Structure 1
Amino acid sequence: METSTFYVSLSMQDAAAAIDNEIIRGSVSGTLTDRFVVNHPDGKHCLLSVYEKHFVRAGNRLTLTVTLDNFFGYTRVHTTGSGGGGMLRIDFGAASSFTQSVVRILSPYMIQV
């Protein structure tokens, strides 16, 4: 399992659109399997997206969970990649690559908080 947490200057909607564009539209096997939005009464939001993609080096499909929230006035991004590798759970770096794809997509917008 590979995780990453960082902040971006984009809105949650723009960050989600950038990720969708790369993983779903920019890939043959990438799909969005689920998206869930939690709305807080004070106007803050949390967006949870689960993506799935086939990785040849892992020998099967991997999942990427991306959580976006604006609880602190900035868009926080948390990613977790997992799956692949069969019974031995060896994915040959595919989960890390899947997780790092979000870092690569959003790196021009990263900010220090």
Structure 2
Amino acid sequence: MNNTLNVSISVEKTVNLIYEEVVNCSITGELLDKYEINSLDNKKCIVMVFDKHYYRAGNRLTLTVIIDSLEDVTRVHYISGGGGKGLFNFDGGASESFANIVPEVLKEYII
């Protein structure tokens, strides 16, 4: 699974779109933490960690999203986890479903 995207919109707009989908369009989604680093040349990197309850997994999952403007485009890297049960970490596809929120909400901006 390729979990790094380049998008044609700003870091701020990217952050807002993902936040809106995970938190405001969900009953159980919440932002656990957001960390921002700004450089002297106006480039930035934002790390957001979300969590959301998935009935399919029987617990809460996390989604970590890193958005940066360190190159000429806005880059988005994302990973979900924490939904496994038992020895084999089976979550019924819930982690993949949570991670797929990112490319789905950004699909019209992917370059």
State the TM-score, normalizing by the size of structure 1: 0.92
- How far apart are 1:56 and its partner, in Å? 0.7
Q: How many residues align?
A: 110
The higher-RCO structure (CA 8 Å, 6+ apart) is 1
- How far apart are 1:43 and its partner, in Å? 1.8
Residue 78 of structure 1 pairs with residue 106 of structure 2: no
Q: Structure 2 counterpart of 1:91, which letter?
A: D
Residue 99 of structure 1 pairs with residue 99 of structure 2: yes
C-alpha separation in 1, matches of 2:34 and 2:91: 25
Secondary structure, aligned partner of 1:86: coil
2:16 maps to: 17
C-alpha separation in 2, matches of 1:33 and 1:6: 23
Whichever structure has more strand as a proportion of its residues is 1
1:108 maps to: 108
CA change 1:3–1:30 in 2 (3 A) is farther
- How far apart are 1:73 and its partner, in Å? 1.5
RMSD: 1.2
C-alpha separation in 2, matches of 1:57 and 1:42: 44
- How far apart are 1:64 and its partner, in Å? 0.1
- How far apart are 1:93 and its partner, in Å? 0.8
Where structure 1 has 5 or more consecutive residues not aligned to the other structure, the ranges are none
Residue 68 of structure 1 pairs with residue 67 of structure 2: yes
Give % identity. Answer: 41
- How far apart are 1:53 and its partner, in Å? 0.3
Where structure 2 has 5 or more consecutive residues not aligned to the other structure, the ranges are none
C-alpha separation in 2, matches of 1:3 and 1:47: 20
